Amino acid sequence: MNEAAITPEIVEQHGLSPAEYEKIVTIMGREPNLTELGVFSVMWSEHCSYKSSRVHLKRLPTRGPRVIVPPGENAGVVDIGDDWCVAFKVESHNHPSFIEPFQGAATGVGGILRDVFTMGARPVAAMNSLRFGPLDHPKHGNRNRSILKGCVEGIGHYGNCFGVPTIGGEVVFDESYSLNPLVNAFALGIVRKDQIFFGKASGIGNPVLYVGAKTGRDGIHGATMASAEFDEEALEKRPTVQVGDPFLEKLLLEACLEAMRSGAIEGIQDMGAAGLTSSSVEMAARAGTGLELDLTLVPQRETGMTAYEMLLSESQERMLIVARKGREKEVVEIFNKWDLDAVVIGKVVEGDRLKIVHNGEVAADLPVMALTDEAPKYERPMAESLRHGDTETARRGDGKLPASPSQDITASLKKLLASPNIASKHWVYEQYDTMVRTNTAILPGADAAVIRVKETRRAIAMCLDGPGRLVAVDALEGAKHAVAEAARNVACVGARPIAVTNCLNFASPERPEVMRSFSDVIDGMAEACEAFETPVVSGNVSFYNETDGKGILPTPTIGMVGLIEDIRKVITQGFKNDGDTIALLGSTGDDLSVSEFASAIVGLSTADMMASGRLPRIDLAQERRLQDALIAMADAMLLASAHDCSEGGLAVAIAESCFSSLGREALGAEISLETNGLSAEATLFAESPTRAVISFAPENLDRVRELAAGLPFAVIGTVRDDVLNISLDGQSAVSSPVAELEAIWESALEHELS
């Protein structure tokens, strides 16, 4: 096979260092050809090999009594009882969404759905965590708006066409995400315990089948691109972005599930990042086998494709299947019935070699384990921790907030409700089909989404939280806050948190300060997950989220999944009944220095908060008590509503509880608070953790108070009329019709986009 000689320039173009190339030569005992170099480049990329993160990820807790499939497969799987399980995962599609927002976000949805149904699970819910630069940015505002609109349209298009409800998530704005958007896609599916499938190439002599869409030239070097920072020439990388077809993926889903039920399949793997290369290598590595593949047999939609192109293509809606010998015809017939290609392209063999043939010639002959377990592992240099949460003295920043511009409290509340990070995101989620399959129990906009498990009385709650601002100020403590808020959100709908998936979004790992924050985040997550008994069962690491040397905030996205034993006991956040009692669980501190108030009212940038802000210490044991209390109250059916206090603090949480939702009329509230030595602003807008606003019938007060034992508990008001009135130490601080507040909150994002 005649190929060009490998030069240092070609090695560099493939994202490999000179030392890595020398390691390849040593492993091979010879110079690789171009196709082999391409295979090494994608398998050893940061995106596929986790070469900078593996040494840290092993510190996360991954086991527990409910864990059926821990990290290492396409998705994690946990037991929810009665022989039913849920499979779920979140992963990034950041780089493609920057280059081509619509297709980048759309194929992110497609990829995460395939990860779930590859496990044998039928997807029943999708969510997304989105981060963009400010829409009013003087330089990048137009581009930020374009990226937002393109990503939302792409997510809606793929999910709606595929037929999975998109039922929750988050949208956050910060300067650091200008030209570096984050698109983290989450999916969850239902599967019986005895019908779980794995991505293993087991059984010597078993045939290997290529199924699904034909292979094209789209997405080549997508994995390598996702492992590099961007520059002003980034848009030239548009050909590395895949193009998705959700209608074809729906056919692929049904064909795969039918083939799985037939008993003819031994193993199955999605062709995601690095396409046919990663799927074949990973399947062989998990089984400890070798593979022989003939690329000449691969269905192609373009002529003249080389072995290099076919191996590295990331064309969408494709799977690699290992069938049981003698039953490959059954598999082919099933896929053909669904109008999909299904072709035997190779077989499982003894040994640990991946042998690739094309047009009768050997195009690549590679050791499988060298591509996986023997990939480089780096312990990157780390800076000293500037603010480690272990000691007060180690923290930078005095936590003091400059004086805010003079304005009354009602005006401040209105301004906060109009802040893009707090304002209603209905413009986003109304573009998604939220009710397809009719399992959705809580619509988007709540603390957590809830989906019914129709086969049982149970329901599954899920949410995504990624407080990049908090982590930027204090990585260790901020990571604890992230896990705690996610667990609290799930508990606020009456669900017991049971497991976590994560997507860890960071700038270049070659920066010591980035690796320090990454390591601290891992430690903070581990501590919180241990405290809440929520093992991490799947996830993704996305490095090199930076452009022209400017990186994003360290942003760990936490996907929390919770279990509700009885769907009838679900709680929503809105006040329900005139005359109900309103109470606050938890205590408020002087926690304004890192908050939306500091940003929207005082005018501090995230950089300002990083310089002077201080996060409140979170007591994980107390946080666990709060979650347990909320779950117990829900189980006893004592609560009319529950809502987490987070962005905007107590006043925003109360206002949001007043707003209309799920066809419910808006209701007002009469609130009386004591400042207890705090400023009015801190009392109302501080973002102290471990708090929730609840409402309940007055006759339930004693029982609610009993279940709240061990927690700060204060009756703060009554649901009443259609006006929100808040007094502080007996003096009126806020007075506004709820309809006026809700109109501001509901229209703010659309106004920014107009």
- Whether residue 24 contacts residue 35, with contact meaning beta carbons closer than 8 Å, is answered with no
DSSP string, 541-582: EE---EETTEEPPPEEEEEEEEEES-GGG---SS--STT-EE
Token pair 């220095």: residue: 593
Q: Which of 14, 47, 221, 481 is catalytic?
A: 47
Beta bridge partners of 191: 85
Q: Which of 93, 221, 481, 643 is catalytic?
A: 93
Which amino acid is it at 395?
Answer: R
Quick one: DSSP state of residue 236? G
The backbone region for 148, taken as left when phi is positive above 0, alpha when psi lies in -120 to 50, beta otherwise, is alpha
Tokens of 715: 């009756």
Helices 475-491 and 512-532, packing angle to 10 deg: 40
Quick one: DSSP state of residue 100? S
Burial 392-412 (b: 16+ CB within 10 A, else e): eeebebebebeebeeeebbeb
Tell me how long the chain is.
754
- Whether residue 725 contacts residue 735, with contact meaning beta carbons closer than 8 Å, is answered with yes
**Residue 751 catalytic?**
no
What distance in Å separates the CA atoms of residue 106 and residue 112, rounded to the nearest whole number? 10
- Whether residue 286 contacts residue 333, with contact meaning beta carbons closer than 8 Å, is answered with no
Q: Which residues does 26 contact at the CB level (< 8 Å), separation at least 6?
A: none
**Residue 47 catalytic?**
yes
Burial 471-505 (b: 16+ CB within 10 A, else e): bbbbbbbbbbbbbbbbbbbbbbbbbbbbbbbbbbb
DSSP string, 432-484: S---GGG-EEE-TTSSSEEEE-TTSS-EEEEEEE--HHHHHH-HHHHHHHHHH
Give the active site residues.
47, 93
